[in-house]
Structure 1
Amino acid sequence: MAPALTRQIEKSVRRLRLRVRGTVQGVGFRPFAYRLAREMGLTGFVLNDGAGVLVEIEGSDVNGFAEAIRTQAPPLARIDSIDVVELVPTGGELFEILKSLGGATATRIGADAATCDECRRDLRDPASRFFGYPFVNCTHCGPRLTITRTLPYDRAKTSMAPFPMCRACAADYADPESRRFHAEPVACPDCGPKLSHPVAEVAARLASGKIVALKGIGGFHLLCDARNNAAIGLLRLRKSRHQKPFAVMVRDIEAARRLARLTATEEALLMSAAAPIVLVEPLAGQSFDLIAPNLARIGIMLAYAPVHHLLFDALVTPASHGPPALVATSANPSEEPLIADNADAERRLGEIADLIVTHDRDIAIRADDSIMQVIDGAPAFIRRARGFVPEPVDLGADGPSVIGTGADLKNTVCVTRGREAFLSQHVGGLDNAEAIRFQREVISHLCSTLDVKPEYAACDCHPDFRSVRMAEGLSLPVVPVQHHLAHVAAVAAEHRLRGPVLGLALDGHGFGSDGTGWGGEMLALDGHCWLRAGSLVPLPLPGGDRAAREPWRMAVAALRAAGRIDLAPRLWPDHPGVAQLTTMFDRGMRPSGTTSLGRLFDGAAAIAGIGLTQRYEGQTAMEFEALVHTPRCLPDGYSISNGKLDFLPLIRCLAEQGLGGIEAADLFHGTLIAGLADWAAGGAARFGSRQIALSGGCMMNRVLAAGLLQALRARDFEAYLPRLAPANDGGIALGQVAYARHVVMNENAISGENLTCA
């Protein structure tokens, strides 16, 4: 060969080092890179390490390889960045997958993913060795977060470590042409986990009206036949869940379509790898009165684990009843966290379930089902957990590592690393020892898998919150963040809003910086500076926390504030508490006040005849929303003065005219939307902002949230809802860490005294 031609060929060979960051472990990225390199005739290696995936590639088309890595990554991969370094070619004949390296962790594990189409086919193929195996998985599906103890993501560091692969599984694991090439949870009936009871027995128990506790991916479900009213009633009785809605699990999207009127966005959510519960509208003629009493929507999810698919295959229902459907609710005694441990299940579920079905693969970290709805055409979280955690929120810039301990209701924890904020799965209410233990478990797991040592702790300002005690016990400098400020800061962080932001934080209750109860707040926020720009007109809060459980108290209080307490005895002539409270007001009682929109909802719903007490948080407001047909605004139903928004004219109208049902729901929601839009527009004009963040638990009300978005856009404002975190207290931790980083980076005093500035 001529020397000149030899030099030209040698020059065409290049070697690149690719550092790939993101969700790139446990998703089939190494086998993908391996197959791609072999197909392109390239040499080098790929490996996992603490920072993500490292690839060195050599050959004549390394640029084409780098582009394919970016554009053709496996379906569960999420690439944040690819750093490229040119190296000197070293020669070689092979492309290899090398042993993983340790080191400081800068990557992340993927979220758990629903069983893929190929694995479902294996599950039902008599010729497959995975036929009928309730733990089938591959690199495109199966458990990730819930089996991972630490990173890098290798079998030895997961709860699959006790299950040595058989010869067939080891061959799949080592075969680059297999879908299970380097799939860490790979297993089969010969070598993998096993159920404690046959699927056929489980199906037979359910068909006979029994309640089953079934261990799944992130914890136990309590299951019963969704078409058996007696079974549903028994489950409610045993679980002490008398009216709170249950979710329904069905086999596939075709079965879901026979139960509910689904939009394209709702179908996409149901069929996604995350497989959340989605709130949807039932089809006419479908009754879910015992499953979701007095509500207009039901929560539906598709079978997402192999055992679910096998169970639905085994269930048979009469043709007239349609496809089988199961009530599927978190297996836990009332108000306690999800149970994930076999011994715990046997000890604590024995009085609830007729059959407890376990398996011998440990759940390293428990995770509830995520719950979502579609608002204004886009998904929004009600509960963020399995399928989405630990996908991070990109904060847009690096900063110190902060841990936020969230609120005491709907608790989540958040940890920042660089520019990323990792919001934990749903923990729940911190009102019992099991919940506190779970929160500690989540903090430890998050910090361990992220390899993060937080520098600061952020928490609520409430002096009695258990989440505050948790932050104070971490031996870190503590940054208190006011509750409603955290709501607004979470939206600003998620959407990476810069400059002044006007926020409406609308919820049930939060401890205000003045020591009073807030819940209907207009806040102006710019980095670490914020101020309270307005609020709802305060209402008396008779009975304190009892008022949240007994809406009749807020109804009487609202009538008192509206100057029509005389109507209370006429509206509820036989209620002894109403007469007593009315008398106490007449004698000059002055209870503490609250600006809470949630409490205003309670009072209005009680006046409209929805209910005088509630068995679960937000019940009357949800039932009120369910009645809305066409929202309409009451002329002069509200007033605005000096930043205070007053809906007492609306309250007077509801009571004086005796409005109830659809008429009251339409008028209340329509007037709320108009009043809040006017209020926000005025505040935004005062502070020179076109950006309006909407958050707080009241933004879970789809009618209110969508109507407010549309009303603000009609005035040319940029209005934002939370999309990556819940609008309720499940998103508080995200706002805490985002705001605390601003405080720390601006060298503010780390105390509650200097957190507010004009």
Structure 2
Amino acid sequence: MACAACGPRLTFHGNTGDGEDPLSSTVDALRAGAIVAIKGVGGYHLVCDATNADALAALRARKQRPGKPLALMAPLAGDDGLDAVRTVASPDREQSALLLTPERPIVLLPARAGALPEAVAPGLSEVGVMLPYSPLHHLLLDSFGGVVVATSGNLSGEPVLTDARQVEQRIGHVADAFLHHDRPIVRPADDSVYRSVGGRPRPMRLGRGAAPLEIDLPFELAAPVVAAGSHMKNTVALGWGRRLVLSPHIGDLDSARSLAVHRQVIADLQSLYRVEARSCVCDAHPDYGSSRWAERSGLEVATVFHHHAHASALAIEFPEPGPWLVFAWDGVGLGDDGTLWGGETLYGGPGAWTRVATFRSFRLPGGERAAREPWRSALALAWELDRAPRARTRDMRVLKLAWETGINAPSTSAVGRIFDAAASLAGLVHTARYEGEAPMRLEQSSGPLPDAPSFPVTERDGMLVADWGELLDDMASADATLAARAARFHSRMASTLLCIAESSRERLGVNRVGLCGGVFQNRLLTDRAIERLEAGGFEVCLPSLLPVNDASIAAGQIVEHAFTASCGVERSP
């Protein structure tokens, strides 16, 4: 609702001056190819005409976002409201229903070939689309009459911006014009994002309309506790009694502003719910920004290992008692042996996880740089096998020496880095322009999945170890197309998961399997794994309330900590 006297009031500022009619001025600017920063409910979007290649190129250049997909907003049109969406994408029934929910999330949809410039989502066959979620957006899209790009109004990786003055200062070099309103945004909230995996849409990011997310716990917490969350895709959580509240998406804690918003959200959750935390939980990695906050908080601090938190987050949606097998596959996280995990199979339950399977470890030359430079992961696999690497760099001799002596070359078992290596070996992505580009491009390049054998799985000192060694020959095959090589890799990874599950069932008698970690955002891998597991008689648990990625870590930290003796859980009868 709006009132001519009381507001909300709109103001438009452009390079050519201020418009008398802010709405008309904004629409005219968009039609002329301008980039406009528009204030919404939870923050600002950077908006431009999705069909204007010059505007898209300018947006990418100014925001220094050369390849990351850009979200779209389509006007309501047609009997069911989705006619405009269907001009650029092909939603199925469940995706269509999700688009129309009051939360108005971004939903990743199959793109219509040739409907939009390649610059919207380079190298990908999906586009993220949402519908207008506020009266202002409805008015703008109705007047504009087409689909626009509506990407977060921030610097890449940082939380969304909410203040007019700050927006004009921080992204004034990106936007040509600004559309402000005078309603204060008290709590920032980025857009929620969903992708169909395992036969239904599942959250990848919880934001506007979906968070703070309130969850009923199947046990009683002895005292209020706050969880600082992960370093990447950070959220925080507050738990008390039998309640847990997960914050909206904050982002990666790599900048001073992200850390400031992290502190603000922790304080705001406690103020909003009138609960004062008596202790805090953080990741066991001491160098994470979230861990450093915990150490400075003045609260009693407990640490939880990254993959234990991943596994325990599953217990929120699947609280049935009894041990189970959880595959925690992601980038990297500190393990209880001091190495970087990421390809783990855990057995047990919250507070009592035991690692029963892993992948053959390898040393990452350059450490954290490998996440942005997949060629380093490919190099690592080649060197581990004493093979001549395909990747070349000017500093190869120095890099090899550092790798051999373990200088900035931590040992890891991370499946996320194995996917990076596969993408680089396939010639797709050697240097990633955004987080996750390499596995996303590998998935998009894959043809139909064949039946393919597991990578070898052997037992070493009581633990199952999957060996990726045959990957190099698979990816180097001159007899197979890129699509065939990518498909074979996905199929072999799913078969490896099944092999570990079947071997663990024989040893441990466990029949319930959970999937967690960012790798399971990959639809090809996850759908094939679920299909094979269910055909083998396993009960499969894949979260649909919480994201499968690091956004669920804070919730898992509270659950994992709650089941340790120090917290004193009172279980539900």
Question: How high is the TM-score relative to the length of structure 1?
Answer: 0.70
Shift of 1:272: 0.4
SS in 2 for 1:713: helix
Shift of 1:366: 0.5
Aligned pairs (5 A) from 1:281-300: 281-300=110-129
Task: Check conservation: 2:158, 2:258, Cα contact below 8 A.
Answer: yes
Shift of 1:660: 5.2
Shift of 1:286: 2.5
Find the aligned partners of 1:218 and 1:648 in 2 and give their Cα distance.
Answer: 47
Change in 2 beyond 3 A, CA 1:346/1:625 = same
Which residue matches 2:514? 693
Find the aligned partners of 2:205 and 2:212 in 1 and give their Cα distance.
Answer: 14
AA aligned opposite 1:208: A
Which residue matches 2:182? 360
Which residue matches 1:380? 202
Unpaired runs of 5+ in structure 2? Answer: 13-21, 77-81
Which residue matches 2:472? 651
Change in 2 beyond 3 A, CA 1:384/1:297 = same
Which residue matches 1:241? 65
Task: Determine whether 1:498 maps to 2:321.
Answer: yes
Task: Determine whether 1:451 maps to 2:271.
Answer: no
Find the aligned partners of 1:587 and 1:512 in 2 and give their Cα distance.
Answer: 22
Which residue matches 1:638? 456
Which residue matches 1:199? 23
Shift of 1:379: 2.1
Which residue matches 1:92? none
SS in 1 for 2:213: coil
SS in 2 for 1:223: strand
Find the aligned partners of 2:404 and 2:297 in 1 and give their Cα distance.
Answer: 48
Residues 391-400 or 718-727, more deviating: 391-400
Task: Determine whether 1:670 maps to 2:491.
Answer: yes
Unpaired runs of 5+ in structure 1? Answer: 1-135, 137-186, 317-323, 749-758
Which residue matches 1:399? 221
| Structure label with greater radius of gyration | 1
Find the aligned partners of 2:39 and 2:403 in 1 and give their Cα distance.
Answer: 56
AA aligned opposite 2:59: L
> What is the number of equivalent residue pairs in this alignment?
550
Shift of 1:744: 4.6
Find the aligned partners of 2:177 and 2:526 in 1 and give their Cα distance.
Answer: 42
Task: Determine whether 1:348 maps to 2:170.
Answer: yes
Shift of 1:640: 3.2
Change in 2 beyond 3 A, CA 1:497/1:379 = farther
Task: Check conservation: 2:229, 2:290, Cα contact below 8 A.
Answer: yes
Task: Check conservation: 2:99, 2:130, Cα contact below 8 A.
Answer: yes
Change in 2 beyond 3 A, CA 1:361/1:589 = closer
Task: Check conservation: 2:103, 2:210, Cα contact below 8 A.
Answer: yes
Deviations 1:247-302 (A, max 9, x none): 01100211112221111110011000111000010124424410111112110111
Which residue matches 1:611? 429
Change in 2 beyond 3 A, CA 1:587/1:612 = same
Find the aligned partners of 1:661 and 1:617 in 2 and give their Cα distance.
Answer: 22
Find the aligned partners of 2:481 and 2:469 in 1 and give their Cα distance.
Answer: 17
SS in 2 for 1:290: helix
Which residue matches 1:620? 438
Give the one of 562, 570, 573 matched to 1:741: 562
Which residue matches 1:724? 545
Aligned pairs (5 A) from 1:60-459: 136=1, 187-197=2-12, 198-252=22-76, 253-316=82-145, 324-400=146-222, 401-459=224-282
SS in 1 for 2:309: helix
Shift of 1:677: 1.5
Find the aligned partners of 2:354 and 2:138 in 1 and give their Cα distance.
Answer: 53
Deviations 1:179-225 (A, max 9, x none): xxxxxxxx422323111132111000000000000000000000000
Deviations 1:524-570 (A, max 9, x none): 1324212111211102211111111111111121122334x13x2xx
Shift of 1:519: 0.7
Find the aligned partners of 1:525 and 1:359 in 2 and give their Cα distance.
Answer: 52
Which residue matches 1:576? 393
Question: How high is the TM-score relative to the length of structure 2?
Answer: 0.92
Give the one of 362, 380, 392 matched to 1:539: 362
SS in 2 for 1:459: strand
Aligned-residue CA RMSD (Å): 2.0
Change in 2 beyond 3 A, CA 1:409/1:583 = closer
Identify which of structures 1 and 2 has the higher relative contact order when contacts are C-alpha pairs closer than 8 Å and 6+ apart: 2
AA aligned opposite 2:9: K
Find the aligned partners of 1:744 and 1:230 in 2 and give their Cα distance.
Answer: 60
Shift of 1:687: 2.8
Deviations 1:422-448 (A, max 9, x none): 110000111111111111111111111
Aligned pairs (5 A) from 1:37-56: none
Shift of 1:303: 1.1
